[in-house]
Amino acid sequence: MSDLLSQAEAVWQRVVPTLPGFTVEVLPSIDSTNSELMRRARAGLMEPVLLAAEEQTAGRGRVGKSWHSRRGQSLTFSLALPMAPASWSGLSLAVGASLANSLHPDVRLKWPNDLWLHERKLGGILVETASTGDAPQGKRMVVIGIGLNVARPDTEAVASLGDAPTALPAMAPAGLAEILVGVTAGEVLAQVAPALAQDLLAFESQGFAAFAQRFAQRDALQGRSVQLSDGTRGTACGVGEDGALQVLTEQGMRHVTSAEVSVRPC
Name the 3-class secondary structure at 157.
Answer: helix
CB 129 within 8 A of CB 66: no
DSSP classification of residue 264: -
CB 254 within 8 A of CB 234: yes
Is residue 264 among the annotated active site residues?
yes
> Which of 40, 60, 108, 121 is the catalytic position?
121
CB 77 within 8 A of CB 53: yes
Name the 3-class secondary structure at 148.
Answer: strand
CB 139 within 8 A of CB 83: yes
Is residue 121 among the annotated active site residues?
yes
- Residues β-bridged to residue 23: 49
Is residue 39 among the annotated active site residues?
no
Q: Buried b / exposed e across 46-81, counting CB within 10 Å, b at 16+?
A: bebbbbbbbbbeebbbbeebbbbbbeebbbbbbbbb
> Which of 39, 62, 152, 224 is the catalytic position?
62
The set of catalytic residues is 62, 121, 264
